[in-house]
Chain A
Amino acid sequence: MSSRSARRVRRAAESSCAFTSSSGRIVALTLATLLLLLAGAGSLVASDGDSGGPGVQAETFTLDNGMKFLLVERPEMATVAAAWVAHVGSANERPGITGMAHLFEHMMFKGTRTIGTDDAERDLQIIDEQEAIQDQIRSIYRDLRAKARRGEIEDPYAAENRTPEMLELAKEFDALVEEQRDIMIKDQLDQIYTENGAAALNAFTTNDMTVYINMVPANKIELWFWLESDRLMNPVFREFYTERDVVHEERRMRTEATPTGEFDEQFDAMFWQSHPYSWPTIGWPSDLQVISKSQADEFYDLYYAPNNLTGILVGNFDSTEMKDLATRYFGRLERGDDPPDVVTLEMEQLAEKRMRAECDCQPQIQIRYHTPAFAHRDEYVLDVIADLLNGRTGRLHRAMVEGEEIASQASAFNNADKYAGSFTFTAEAKGEATPADLERVWGEVVDRLKNELVDERELQKVKNLFKADAYRRLESPFFMMFQLALYEGLGDWNYLNTLADRIDAVTAEDVQRVMNTYFEPSNRLVGHYFRKAGTEARPMPPELEALPPEVRTQVTQQLEQVRAIEDAAMLRQVLGQLEAAGGQVPEEMRPAMELLRKAASERLEELESNAAGEEEGS
């Protein structure tokens, strides 16, 4: 697959999935890995009917209710790769409900009136009762936010600031959760698919779309029609608030516990000024705290009508039969109003923006420019530009990784989303080089592309790779389904068929023109990332700061050793020695001695309480 679609896939997959699908030994196989593996594994299954290059001959039809379908028959397979795209993503949210599209995606796995419960009536009653309690909790949060604004408390959502009333409400809520569990059939959607050999139940959300995917044995495709149409018709958002906690964990995993995650999130927010792309797909944490089930209901009514959906099937089936099944199952959905469009346009940027970050990370740079949306004529030229820059024979590698040897890696990518695009250059500094050095050489690379026409052979190389990749893209049926979903979500699946020709038509003059159109300082955001000083270190106890450096190191090492002692008797001995030596220690060393004594007694206490715990347990 082309580096471009690989990146798109990765980006889309990283934007948040419902859960990590897993099988056999590998538990935490993320969707991204899965797709890259599949794409790399390379199956050769497409049979392109036409001569003159690769293409996907998808059969398309639209049901009376407006739901569109794409079908690609692959008779050699024993499976069907299946998906449906909801044309809604985080760009359709508004302040206050950021993260809704993604949380909603999670909720679509929680079941329906038929799937997931023994007692649909009582289940719905419980959900209403839970919602009433949560409404009360939300109104207390309103007071707590006011308190925080006045500075009376720090964090309105911190555990220690919960009011007694809230704790009481939480208890009532938990009791309802328990009751609901008794009539719930846990994760039944997943269970039914699993027992029928469907291996890839998953979903992901991006700025522009929400996609629900699976891979089903060819003889059981009707199961997909049944379960997917059911969850579109009769979804029940049970376990809404537990799932919100799962999303908080997902945010910690993807954003907060990674070296640059939180800075990258702010980089995005800084880049987009007026456009809703500025907030993260996973949502701002404060919105996640108060998002409600009734807001999810509204979201469903607005965006999950069949006229806003596209179904996609790639695999071993008979298209006529699929049309019948689609009509019979998805035909039951009622057409809705046309969903609102995203109307806010990005304001033209007037001045260069810059960000300086310090993190537990390699010194690095990120420069991003505003560029056109998906399928704009300049987008193809920007694809070519990215590939002129990338790879071992690309200009970035030759200028920075080799050449000046200031980067350990450098790359560029063109990301044209549905409503607007961006072009990003990133590189990691090497040796003594700084982000400023990387910026300087990037400037030289840009200037050369602006001032000199690219060499014909260099351009041809990029086109050759695109052409071969156009075939490679068709190798894996699962990946083909994925791309159809992605391009359909961006606006047009047929992009897959026209891309190679559009790329082939790009000229050296186009490259020069586009470089001179978009690559201006006033159109960009520059981010410099620096390694935070002493990132791996424990914070130094203030008592040590006055000591000479070599003594300081010795003392901290001894502290580590003391904290690692497993044997209580040994610790008592250490404490005894410290006491005994106490009188002879010079005045300036007293604080260090006191620190050691404190660490040893704390450790001893810990060991003793552990031992007590063991006795109680046995």
Chain B
Amino acid sequence: MMLRSDSRQTLRVVLVSLVTLLLGGGVGVAEEEVPKHPSELVYGDLDFSIPRAEPLRHELDGGAVAYVVEDRALPLASISVFLRAGAFQEPADKVGLAAITGRLLRTGGTVSLTPEDFDDAIDFLAARVSVSMGETETRANLSCLSDVIDECLDHFFEMLSEPRFDADKLEIEKNNILESLKQRNDDAQSMASREWQWLLYGQDHFSSRLATSASLDAITRDDLMAFHRRHVGPRGAVFAVSGDVETDTIVAELERRLADWDSEAVAPAWPPEKPDHEPVPGIYLVDKDIPQGRVRIGHLLPQRESWEAKDELALDLMNSILGGSGFTSRITSRVRSDEGLAYSAGSFGYFGDHWDGEFDVVYQSKSETVIYAAKIALEEVDRIRSELVSTQELETAKAFLADTLPAQFESSSQVASLFARDEMLGRPHDYWYDYQERVSALTKEDVRRVAEKYLDPDKLVMLVVGDRDAVVAGDPDGRATLDEVLGGRTTDLPARDPLTLEVISK
């Protein structure tokens, strides 16, 4: 049943088409018009081609770039700007400076408007404005009705170029963040992401550093002013513009405002520093009184060498079969569907953009079955490294990757953002143009090759946040014991004070 003979299937298709033809495909409740099995359905071609980036790309005076996708369907315009600024530029004793600068850009007012007046103006215009400063990238967004776009752009650019960083608002934001720090140990999810980051990348890299009450305390308004002055400017800005705009007009409007932006920002030191940490394989446990263990099992993957390399898509394909695409993937199918051990179970794997990437199996299971589920997941990691995948698995995963591509280009704002992201990442636009062909060229051998090359069972690190003793006790029905997983080497990670992150033992 799994493999139908090709000739028989063709015959059926022909017969069904013939029947449809004879009946004229008309309305009516005729049972025979419905094929007996969906494999007998015949489809027309999909009318879709990847939009080309080049005609949408505009180099602005002063070196910025804008991707503009016109779409007049609704009277809305959407403008995003990407800048190379973020936590990688903040000093180690002021962790949180970039994030707070991002928040205060939005909430701290401008030179001409108090924070309250700025918020009133934005809300009355019914605009939506946001700013976020991440690890290596800053993104600011504006969505507004197109008939007030000029006024909105004025506010948007003033916000970015002449922030007030109101001192009272800074105190309020800092105190709000302090409240969120207090909740660090409340949710297993936040504990797991913190410990996982540290296990894989160490605690010293800027992507691992976390704000503490002391680091927040050290951040002053002068720091924000200086950080903004030094790092936030129009140099190298990439815009994604879409909606009810006219390309020449919006390009000119952006250029005019960029020319007025009086910035002292310097070119960022690039590429950013990489983490220097060798993860130690084994099982790491964080004790928390919850009935379900939150689990991650994985290791580092290398930084990407090239977007064109065959391994990029082969890794996606391999992961899709292993645990990356829902019920059709092996880990989900066995852990959830066969055994009922988890609601959510799967895997992901990616090469890093600026430093190492990672491979991860992720699931949540009741304390008693954490180890049993791990055993199953690890069996699947071994299997995909040693055996070729089936033809059906390969074809399903390939079709999925190729056929869901159009969904990424469905809307004008998706197209503009995707191409702007290409520009920031250094991903060639060609990546998309021949994506489907490259996917279809992949083979079972490619899947095994990347699994063998990149997945290394000896390097696996496992983290469990949950009821420690119940987890290590293993399966009550005897289906798995601790020593069957990563050699059973366990390390208890200490509790940490949520505000200082120092080790505590109360």
Contact = CB atoms under 8 A, between A and B. Distances in A.
A226 B348 CA distance: 32
Give the one of B37, B123, B124 with max A CB within 10 A: B123
A538 B34 contact: no
B372 interface: no
Contact of A327 (B29, B75, B319): B29
Nearest to B496: A536
B157 interface: no
A328 B46 CA distance: 23
A524 interface: no
A25 B76 contact: no
A197 B402 contact: yes
A609 B340 contact: no
Contacts of B179: 362, 408, 428, 430-431
A566 B27 CA distance: 74
Interface in B171-224: 172, 175-176, 179-180, 182-183, 185-188
Contacts, number: 346
B328 A191 contact: yes
Nearest to A258: B187
B110 interface: no
A421 B481 CA distance: 50
B143 interface: yes
A329 B21 CA distance: 18
A467 B242 CA distance: 20
A76 B69 CA distance: 14
Contacts of B350: 25
Interface stretch (A137-145, A293-301, A556-564): A556-564
Contacts of B126: 464-465, 467-469
Interface stretch (B229-237, B361-369, B419-427): B361-369
B78 interface: yes
A536 B336 CA distance: 30
A431 B179 CA distance: 7
A20 interface: yes
Interface string B42-58: 01111110000000000
A45 B73 contact: yes
A359 B30 CA distance: 60
A361 interface: yes
A243 B337 CA distance: 7
Nearest to A79: B407
Contacts of B333: 186-187
A332 interface: yes
B407 A42 contact: no
Nearest to B280: A566
A115 B39 CA distance: 11
Contact of B396 (A21, A191, A259): A191
B483 A252 contact: no
B492 A27 contact: no
A553 B505 contact: yes
A256 interface: yes
A578 to B, nearest CB: 19
> Interface on chain B toward A: helix, strand, loop, or mixed SS?
mixed
Interface stretch (A213-221, A303-311, A412-420, A435-443): A213-221
Contacts of A187: 327-328, 333, 337
Interface string B15-26: 000000000011
A14 interface: no
Interface stretch (A340-348, A375-383, A474-482): A474-482
Contacts of B123: 391-393, 461, 464-465
A45 B412 CA distance: 8
B331 to A, nearest CB: 9
Contacts of A239: 337
B506 A24 contact: no
Contacts of B71: 44-45
B29 A328 contact: yes
A78 B406 contact: yes
Contacts of B119: 392-393
> Number of contact residues on A: which range applies?
35 or more
A178 to B, nearest CB: 11
A44 B413 CA distance: 7
A580 interface: no
Nearest to A556: B505
B124 A250 contact: no
B185 A252 contact: no
B107 interface: yes
Contacts of A186: 327, 333, 337-338
Interface in A200-236: 201, 215, 217-220, 222-223, 226-227
B403 A196 contact: yes
A249 B366 contact: yes
Contacts of B320: 24
A77 B108 CA distance: 40
A242 interface: yes
A605 B411 CA distance: 61
Contacts of A226: 34-35, 38, 41
A114 interface: yes
A215 B403 CA distance: 11
B412 A43 contact: yes
A27 to B, nearest CB: 3
Interface in B471-489: 476, 481-484, 487-489
A199 interface: yes
A253 B344 contact: yes
Interface string A14-32: 0000011111111110000
A153 B346 CA distance: 38
B411 A44 contact: yes
Contacts of A556: 505-506
B44 A219 contact: yes
B339 interface: yes
A220 B43 contact: yes
A28 B362 contact: yes
A129 B420 CA distance: 59
A324 B26 contact: yes
Nearest to A192: B38
Given A44-B412, A190-B328, A360 B74 contact: no
Contacts of A393: 116, 119-120, 123
Contact of B186 (A327, A361, A606): A361
Interface stretch (B88-96, B257-265, B290-298, B449-457): B290-298
Contacts of B73: 44-48, 76
Contacts of A534: 506
A323 interface: yes
Given A242-B340, A256-B290, A197 B404 contact: yes
A542 interface: no
A324 B325 CA distance: 33
B53 to A, nearest CB: 17
A43 B186 contact: no
Contacts of B134: none
A89 interface: no
Contacts of B26: 324
Contacts of A332: 29, 31, 34
B346 A194 contact: no
A402 interface: yes
Per CB-CB distance, the 9 closest pairs between chain A and chain B, nearest first, are A43-B411, A197-B403, A613-B483, A245-B340, A27-B346, A468-B126, A537-B506, A187-B327, A190-B327
Given A25-B316, A44-B411, 4 more contacts: A222-B41, A249-B343, A257-B292, A393-B119
17 contacts: A19-B343, A21-B326, A42-B413, A44-B78, A44-B413, A45-B71, A194-B400, A195-B400, A220-B41, A226-B41, A431-B175, A464-B124, A472-B128, A564-B491, A613-B488, A614-B483, A617-B484
Interface of A: 19-28, 41-48, 54, 76-79, 109, 114-115, 118, 159, 181, 185-187, 190-192, 194-197, 199, 201, 215, 217-220, 222-223, 226-227, 239, 241-250, 252-253, 256-259, 316, 323-324, 327-329, 331-332, 360-362, 391-393, 401-402, 405, 408-409, 428, 430-431, 457, 460-461, 464-465, 467-469, 471-472, 474-477, 534-538, 540, 553, 556-557, 559-560, 563-564, 566, 606, 609-610, 612-614, 616-617
